Structures are given as structure tokens and as C-alpha cells.
A and B are shown apart, each in its own frame.
Chain A
Amino acid sequence: MIDYEKALSHKIKNIKPSGIRKFFDIAATMEGVISLGVGEPDFSTPWVIRKAAIQVLERKHIVYGPNLGIMPLREAIAGHIEKKHGVKYRPGEEIIVTVGGSEAIDMALRGLIDPGDEVLVVEPCFVCYAPLVELAGGVAVPVPTRIENNFKLTVDDLEGKITERTKLLILPYPNNPTGAIMTKEDLEPIAELLRDTNIMVLSDEIYSELTYGRQHFSIIELPDMQERTIYVNGFSKAYAMTGWRLGYVAAPEPIIHQIFKIHQYGIMCSPYISQNAAVEALKSCDEEVEKMVEEYNVRRRYLVNEFNRIGLTCFDPEGAFYVFPCIKSTGLSSEEFCERLLYEEKVAVVPGSAFGNSGEGYVRISYAYSLRHLMEALARIEDFLKRLKEEKK
């Protein structure tokens, strides 16, 4: 018999599976569970985009396409970034279309990191960064953010984290799981800190279209920051196109060239049908996006107010589609809270600790669900809290 212990890579064996999974695997075995766990829109992809894909299927050869992505899409992406942020990228050299934001992040890390290089990972954050840094041979240095600052990154948070080996700062705003955003004023001191260094920024702006009350501001808009930023975005969240697997990177040419080589050998090209359809998304779906944002905003306000009303304090998140209520008042750890909530009330949520140690004491609640669904879930959570209180007595 083959000894798989010897066959497998130690590097991969040492990587932990995503902490988001655990409760959903349990939930999947139970009847009547309602989930507030998913990280993708509940809306369908706007019909014009789907129609465009159908037309491609009917009329075109489905080919690999250029490694960097089809030109009309790269041009549309450049136009979109310029419209949103007033920053120009050359579609021929400074943009690459990727298989979702995740591939973009993976390749950017691999394109930059040499063994032992340090990457600052702002936490709480989506689960992929640290494992991908490690896969690339780097060292992930957690940078916890704090509730006092509404989980924004401050210069203080970075104090003592920057060393000679620091190569990159991962800036994940609007943030999954907290819903925090960074404004121009929040970003300026960070940019100022980085300007005299060789540290690059990987700005993961996948939730950039989903902000409430104000427009998203990107670090690329600040002076001298475009040249030191790898801008990552995609179609999944804004256009409800998760399954289409389409993201992109906009960055200086030397960076894109690195990414291009990895992409060329490992992926070849992003899905051709999706790319063609995405041109339509950028061209004609502003109104659809706006409608989705309005609906998310109604849910967001409802949840923030409800959680505060039932005694789980919740700061006002201005982006993404998550709220991040504090559960410390229950005396439970976030894992315990989630486990008991699942078994006792059949509501599945994600413990904040899955997103880094600084997420302990919080839970991530997704509002990519209908109001009806959210109201039912809230009623159950309220019952759960009442029971906890009675237990304490």
C-alpha cells in the first residue's frame, strides 16, 4: 500500500481548512436550519448579463482567448476604474482578468513573495490571505484592528509590525467579515507611512460597489499610491456573478507581467463566456447594482438596529453585506455561541474567530438573504439570548 504520509506535501498538510466551513458542515446534517452564513449575493445575475452569455454561446467559438483577458473587457475595466476613481490604467499592460478575486490574490502574492518575506494581514479578514501567503513561501503577520476604531486600520495598529522583510500590506476594505470601510481620511496616514518604503499594498476591493451612504474611496486615488498598489476587484459581489468566476487586477506593468506568467502557465485564461458577458455588466448594469445596494441597505439597517435592540452591540458597518455584532455580553466564546445557536435554535452563523484572533467575541452575520429570512433568524436569536439570560439567573 502506498504511504500517503510520504506522498503528500507537508506545506499543504499543515494548512488548516477554512474555519467558515465547520458549522455549515454540521448544519447540512440537520433539518430546518436557517443560515446567515453565505458570502454571496442572493440576487440572480442581472438578466442582460445572462442574455449576453447566451448570445456568446449561440454565436461565437468558445476559445481560450488572450492570457490577459479579452481586450474589450480590459478596456471596459480600465474605463470603470477611471470613472469610479479618476485613475488611469493602460488596458494592454496594466490589467489582467482572473478567475475570481481569489486567483488574483494568490497570483499577486506569488508574484511578489520570496521565501521568508513578511506580509501584513489586516484582521479580522477573509480566510484566504494567510494560507495563500504561506503557500507562496511568505510569513503572514497579523495586524489586528479594533472595535474602538470600527475595525478600520490605523497607523497605530501597524506600529511594530513593519520590519525589513515586510513586502506587502493586504488592505481588505470594504471588509469581510466586519463590514468596515476606509475613507479618504482613514487611508491618508496609511499612505503617508508607506510612501517612503518599498512596501506594496494589495488592496482587495471586491466589495467596493457595496457601500452605504457614501461612495467607496480607493487608496489608488491618493498621490504616489497607484505605483505601489495592486488593485484587486471582480464581478462576484457587485453584479451577483459569483459562479461566473471573474475578477481582475489593475497594477503597474512589472507586477502584471509577474502575474501574467503564473496565470499563463497555471490557468491559461479566464472563462471566455464569462468575460464576454462581463463587458455587458460594466456597460449597462449601474442601475441594477444600485437597486441591489438599496435592498442590502434596508436589511443592513434592520440588522444593526435589531442586534443593538436585543443586546448584542453592533457598530454601523458601511460596506459589504455583513454585520459583526459583539457577543461578549453572553459570556460565551464565538465558537460556543455559534455551536449552541445552531443546536438550540437551528441558526447557522460564522464565529468571528474564523477571521483571525481579533474576531473573537464577534459573529459574522450575512445579509445576503431576504428580509423574511432575516426576520425569522432574528426571532430565533432573540429567543436564544433570552434563554441564556435565564440560565445565568
Chain B
Amino acid sequence: MKNEIIRILQQNARISNIALGEMLGISPEQAAEEIHKLENEGVIRGYSVILDDDKFDKSTVYATIELKVTPQRDCGFDDIAKTIMMYDEVESVSLMSSGAYDLAVEVKGNNLKDVAFFVSERLATIEGILSTSTHFILKKYKEKGIFIDDEETDERGLG
């Protein structure tokens, strides 16, 4: 049940309790309760919206920044990650297993310059960060399982 609810919500978090209940074969009240449980347990951390930025605000810029970091005594990478994630510009922070770099940070800005300055003035200056490597995102095709590009035409037959 839990897996099915999450699978459906990942496709559409705005689905009504009625529809969700119908998909799972439970009542709308039960559906609401199941979601509530997942929220309380902290399994579901929040709901977000996936945008086609080309249609919404063409100037928004996204970048992935690879950070090499010196782990801090006693708390490893966590302290630095927590510092980084406090910035509003930061969309995500992940610890990577790659040998090439340690933290992957997704940053959003109004324009190229904003992002570049954010990296050089805010991120690069944090103690323990050895180097940064910035990759600007040119186009998103798919995000969180949702196609950003317009869907392909359906070429299927009528069997």
C-alpha cells in the first residue's frame, strides 16, 4: 500500500483523495489517513512543483556544482553540507561516492552571473571546501519522472 501510494503521488502529488482511493481500492478517508501517516512518519517530506522554465521564466539558470571538501573532524561531510543547504539559492545537496568530488550541489539563480557569484563568493569561501566545478544546465528533458519536453506523438495502433 505504502509503495503504491508513493508511486502514484510521485506521478501526481495533487491527486484527490477520491481518485487516490479509487486507484487503491480504499475509501477517500482511508487514503487521506495513509498520506497523513506518511507525512507524520517523515517519509513524505513535502510536495513541490515541476516547472517547464522555458514556459514560465526563461531567464532562470540552474547549475550543478561539484565540490571537493575536506571532511571535518567528528562530523565528516555533514557540517559543510548543512551550511550549504541553508542558502535559498541551493536546490539540493548530495554526498557523492565518486572519487572526483564529494558534494553535488544544485543551484538556481536569476542569471548566469548570479550563479557564478554565488559559487565564488558563498560556496568557495566556506571553510573546508577545496575546489568547485560549475556545470550550467542548458535544458531539462525529464525531472522527477516527469517529461519536461512536450510528449512524443502517440504512434500506437488499435489492436
Q: Which residues of B contact A37 (CB under 8 A)?
A: 158
Q: Which of B22, B154, B159 is the one whose CB lies under 8 Å from A39?
A: B159
Q: Which residues of A contact B4 (CB under 8 A)?
A: 294, 298
Q: Which of B24, B25, B157 is the one whose CB lies under 8 Å from A38?
A: B157
The smallest beta-carbon distance between A247 and chain B, in angstroms, is 12
Q: Which residues of chain B from 56 to 98 have a CB within 8 Å of any chain A CB?
A: none
Whether the Cβ atoms of A371 and B158 lie closer than 8 Å is no
Whether the Cβ atoms of B22 and A38 lie closer than 8 Å is no
Complex Cα–Cα for A37 and B18 (A): 25
Whether the Cβ atoms of B23 and A35 lie closer than 8 Å is no
Whether the Cβ atoms of A306 and B22 lie closer than 8 Å is yes
Interface centre among A42, A302, A368 (most CB of B within 10 A): A302
Let me know if A233 is at the binding interface, CB within 8 A. Answer: no
Complex Cα–Cα for A61 and B21 (A): 52
Whether the Cβ atoms of A372 and B23 lie closer than 8 Å is no
Whether the Cβ atoms of B156 and A38 lie closer than 8 Å is yes
Whether the Cβ atoms of A20 and B158 lie closer than 8 Å is yes
Q: Which residues of chain A from 356 to 391 have a CB within 8 Å of any chain B CB?
A: 368, 370-372, 375
The smallest beta-carbon distance between A189 and chain B, in angstroms, is 30
Whether the Cβ atoms of B158 and A375 lie closer than 8 Å is no
Q: A294-B4, A370-B11, A371-B12 are in contact. Are A301 and B23 (CB under 8 A)?
A: yes
The smallest beta-carbon distance between B70 and chain A, in angstroms, is 40
Interface centre among B19, B22, B159 (most CB of A within 10 A): B159
Let me know if B126 is at the binding interface, CB within 8 A. Answer: no
Whether the Cβ atoms of B157 and A40 lie closer than 8 Å is yes
Let me know if B8 is at the binding interface, CB within 8 A. Answer: yes
Q: A40-B159, A298-B24, A370-B11 are in contact. Are A375 and B19 (CB under 8 A)?
A: yes
Whether the Cβ atoms of A302 and B157 lie closer than 8 Å is no
The number of residues on chain A lying at the interface, defined by a beta carbon within 8 Å of a beta carbon of chain B, is 30
Q: A39-B159, A242-B157 are in contact. Are A298 and B19 (CB under 8 A)?
A: no
Considering the complex, give the chain B residue whose CB is closest to the CB of A375: B19
Whether the Cβ atoms of B22 and A35 lie closer than 8 Å is no
Q: Which residues of chain B from 1 to 49 have a CB within 8 Å of any chain A CB?
A: 4, 7-8, 11-12, 15, 18-19, 21-25
Q: Which of B7, B23, B156, B159 is the one whose CB lies under 8 Å from A302?
A: B23
On chain B, which size bracket covers the interface? 10 to 19
Whether the Cβ atoms of A21 and B23 lie closer than 8 Å is no
Whether the Cβ atoms of B159 and A35 lie closer than 8 Å is no
Q: Which residues of chain A from 277 to 308 have a CB within 8 Å of any chain B CB?
A: 294-295, 298-299, 301-302, 304-306
Q: Which residues of A contact B158 (CB under 8 A)?
A: 18, 20-21, 24, 37-39, 350
Let me know if A270 is at the binding interface, CB within 8 A. Answer: no
Q: Which residues of A contact B18 (CB under 8 A)?
A: 309
Q: A38-B154, A372-B11 are in contact. Are A301 and B159 (CB under 8 A)?
A: no
The smallest beta-carbon distance between B136 and chain A, in angstroms, is 30
Whether the Cβ atoms of B8 and A371 lie closer than 8 Å is yes
Considering the complex, give the chain A residue whose CB is closest to the CB of B3: A294
| Contact surface of A with B, Cβ cutoff 8 Å | 18, 20-21, 24, 35, 37-40, 42, 126, 176, 236, 242, 294-295, 298-299, 301-302, 304-306, 309, 350, 368, 370-372, 375
Given contacts A305-B21, A306-B19, 8 further A-B contacts (CB under 8 A): A18-B158, A38-B156, A38-B159, A294-B4, A301-B23, A305-B22, A370-B11, A371-B15
| Contact surface of B with A, Cβ cutoff 8 Å | 4, 7-8, 11-12, 15, 18-19, 21-25, 154, 156-159
* 5 A-B contact pairs sorted by A residue (CB < 8 Å): A20-B158, A39-B157, A305-B25, A350-B158, A371-B23
